[in-house]
Amino acid sequence: MSKQKLAAIRGMNDLLPADAPLWETFEARVVDLLKSYGYQQIRTPILEHTAVFTRGIGEVTDIVEKEMYSFTDTLNGEQLTLRPENTASVVRAVIEHNLLYDGPRRLWYMGPMFRHERPQRGRYRQFHQVGAEALGFPGPDVDAELILMLKRLWDVLGVGPVRLELNSLGQLDERLQHRKDLVAYFERHHGQLDADARRRLHTNPLRILDTKNPAMQPLVEGAPRLIEYLGDASRAHFERLQQLLRANGVEYAINPRLVRGLDYYNLTVFEWITDRLGAQGTICGGGRYDPLIEMLGGKPAPACGFAIGVERVIDLMREAAGVPQRPLCDVYVLHQGGATLAAAMRAAESMRDTGLDVLLHAGESSLKSQMKKADASGAEFAVIVGEAELAAGTAAVKALRARDGAWPFAEQKAVALDRLGDALVEALESLSE
């Protein structure tokens, strides 16, 4: 057998213990926040039939054209894909389980997504998204609510300033008229189009507006603007959304070039952007996709949602406050093997019953070397169950961290084994007072 070292797949990262507290903080705060707006969690499989995404995202997007991890299941010949995003799967599940039967739903998800992209800072092949989908609400009230929820999230996470860009895509007929004029405009200036734009001209001309090529900027600036093609109802939706945002103190900028290239996106689109992450500055994208549920075979129902790029937000959190330092445990338990191990194990269990985090020394070594481990663990207390202590039905408690004032265990002290949990909880409480 080859002994060559194995490595993770390029663009797919391990989350190591040193970074875990940052992710745990992020996840706990996001879950609290979503709950506080009445959103319910949904978890769908990571693997779906490829058709979920080809129909649910569209054949002419970057994702479906070149970023999906798709393969044939060799056992039964099915075409499968690792999910590149979660909206299509959520809609698939909502239809399959008839979740809109009793009325609209507010749902959220969190988990890994897979896209075959060129790995760089903020862009990975396995990455994570948290998303929310408000299904069955025509808006614009829920559009505003989703945006307000995100503004609160950035505050709660302490990620610093993030700006909101907003646009309206109107409805399909409005976009078709705009598209006709747009294609005519780009055809008149065909010589100035780059290869990407020429390729998109007849498949997905809106995406040309989204180009990152600086040489194309003047041309794109002068192109017909979708916003001027919106009818009364679309305009009213957009106006009302803006009113609600202003009334709630949300600042935004309208970016007429913010687009999505697909026919089933409509009305509201938005992105949250930071300048502190280099080229990968968009931390969240969202908007309305009213036609999608019907396109995937469900009863027509409007929908609006967003997806957050978790790695990018975690990067901002790390920049703002660093990784939180966390001790391994509150209490480290030392013993001398034999009968003291059995007693130490019982003591550890009873302390866990009172809510303490307890690390029991594993294996046998001198008390001196165990004490070094106890110190390195970051624990507040060492609890020593030695032979002498056990004979007296006690353990010796020693405070490991220097503290000001009257600190109960500054001197090593004997505590009855059946009183340990309560005594240490009390001591910790006196600390936090």
The contact set with ligand ATP (CB under 6 A) reads 85, 115, 117, 122-124, 127, 129, 280, 282-285, 307, 309, 311-312
- CB of residue 285 to ligand ATP, shortest distance in Å: 3
- CB of residue 159 to ligand ATP, shortest distance in Å: 12
Residue 235 or 257 with smaller CB distance to ligand ATP: 257
Residue 85 or 389 with smaller CB distance to ligand ATP: 85
Residue 284 or 390 with smaller CB distance to ligand ATP: 284
- CB of residue 259 to ligand ATP, shortest distance in Å: 11
- CB of residue 207 to ligand ATP, shortest distance in Å: 10
C-beta of residue 132 within 8 angstroms of C-beta of residue 146: yes
- CB of residue 180 to ligand ATP, shortest distance in Å: 25
Residue 222 or 278 with smaller CB distance to ligand ATP: 278
- CB of residue 59 to ligand ATP, shortest distance in Å: 16
Residue whose beta carbon is closest to ligand ATP: 309
Residue 207 or 335 with smaller CB distance to ligand ATP: 207
Residue 256 or 378 with smaller CB distance to ligand ATP: 256
Residue 129 or 340 with smaller CB distance to ligand ATP: 129
- CB of residue 284 to ligand ATP, shortest distance in Å: 6
